[in-house]
Amino acid sequence: MNHELLNHFNNFFNGATPECPNCVEIQFLPRERDILTRDPEHVKAVLTTQFADFGKGEEFHELWRPFLGDSIFTTDGQLWHDSRSMIRPMFIKDRVSDLATFERWVSVLLTALPPSGQTVDIMDLFYRMTLDVTTDFLLGASVDSLRNPKGEFVEAFNDVQRIQMMLTTVGPFRSLISRRAYNEGIRKIEQFIMPYIEQAMALPQEELEKLSNSDKHFTFLHSIARYTRNRQVLRDQIIAVLLAGRDTTAATLSWAFYELSHYPEKYGRLRDEILNSVGRTRTPTYEDLKNMSYLRHTLNETLRLYPAVPFNIRSALEDTTLPSTPGNPPIAVVKGDVVVYSTLSMHRRKDLYPPISEKFEDPAIFSPERWENWTPKPWQYLPFNGGPRICVGQNFAMTEMAYCMVRILQKYERIEYRGNWYAQQIETEIVGKPKQGVKVALYEESARTVGNLEPFTI
């Protein structure tokens, strides 16, 4: 509630024993045991080497079912496998490398930015843009959030996420939280989505089969409708991918511009790379984006400091163990125990990094340059999870973020932060985002510095 998630996690680990410095046991109620870890070997065990021993579990499934149903994020076993098989075809390279959807909505975002030198909360625009991109990609029709920021769907989607995270984190006290706004929000989300599902269901199977990934009218909904005619399954997968596609990308873009606004030389270096690659006006291709190394390093560094999902939860599906430090017995994990692993805390463990030097900045500092001479060891950098549950939309997200950054930096020569940079906090709902927003002024190349003008509102 105080937006001090990193301190909260680290305070737990400050009480750990020397034999097990990065893993602690927490127990509030009888028969409810949580294991909190930031040990890469534990994360590796949970996500890959002992994958079958851990899953979302029935309690998590039931808690999230009203929102995400039986989707890829709430299920285990065959249900999870079927969901992933259904979703994967829409995230192949040929589909992701078609940048027309990104260009359409980034262009709208650019027109929504205020005149040069005026203040804008760019985080708000990023959240609206990624919602437009994702609904367009999923359904072939957008909520048009950039032009209609106060739409009923947008408010409902935000309310449901906020309450869902509260229900998840308060544990045994969740019965004290009112679900009225939660249930009403889900109803409004479904009111928006279901007509598109009905349209897809009205298409004969042979017509769906004729559509191909190269068809510009072919959507994510068309793709999964070829696998199932079950309306509930379609609804669950659409909402799950909508959640993953909107918030994670918007939050990461927000953190990137927050950090770049504090380091003019890094912003300048990134812009130089972009202009040298695609100039001031040319739309970048997929290959252009892949070839810009400093752009890639900037996104990697942002995700290192601010992994979009700052912690994750797995339940033990069987009696099992977690690996321990050399010379100590394995850590017993009983069926039903919950393992909470924090990528936010793990990514900031200084002992996992090389010593600070001229070539390697303090790990707490934003430094894209560190990626030029350093590669994280396996399982120490996991912004997209790992193992069989690794994010299926990773390439889509990275391409969308890179494209958006290129188009903005092509137009704007410099950026200036207009808030208290040091007062920023990580606000955690389902995704960790900047609590204060990201209030900046962007300056076009030909514009003169005009000082602090009145804040621009949309």
For residue 123, CA distances in Å to 116, 294, 319, 443 come to 17, 22, 44, 17
Distance in angstroms (rounded) separating the CA atoms of residues 105 and 100: 9
Write out the two tokens for 88.
Answer: 């994967």
Question: CA 400, 401, 402 angle in degrees (round to 5)?
Answer: 95
CB 338 within 8 A of CB 313: yes
How far the first Cα of the chain sits from its last, in Å, is 28
DSSP three-state, residue 81: helix
391 among the known binding-site residues? yes
For residue 169, CA distances in Å to 29, 159, 337 come to 14, 16, 16
| Ramachandran angles phi, psi of 432, nearest 5° | -85, 115
Distance in angstroms (rounded) separating the CA atoms of residues 81 and 365: 39
Write out the two tokens for 101.
Answer: 């959807």
For residue 64, CA distances in Å to 79, 159, 167, 252 come to 15, 14, 9, 24
The residue type of 344 is L
DSSP three-state, residue 427: strand
DSSP three-state, residue 92: coil
Distance in angstroms (rounded) separating the CA atoms of residues 315 and 286: 39
256: Cβ contacts below 8 Å, ≥ 6 apart? 298, 299, 302, 401, 405
DSSP three-state, residue 45: helix
CB 122 within 8 A of CB 449: no
CB 274 within 8 A of CB 388: no
Residue with tokens 């305070």: 11
Write out the two tokens for 98.
Answer: 């078609």
**DSSP category for residue 114:** P
Distance in angstroms (rounded) separating the CA atoms of residues 238 and 48: 26
| Closest by Cα among 309, 291, 301 to 165 | 309
For residue 348, CA distances in Å to 11, 281, 288, 301, 386 come to 14, 38, 31, 12, 18
Longest dimension (CA), the chain: 66
* Residues annotated within a binding site for heme: 391
* Residues annotated within a binding site: 391
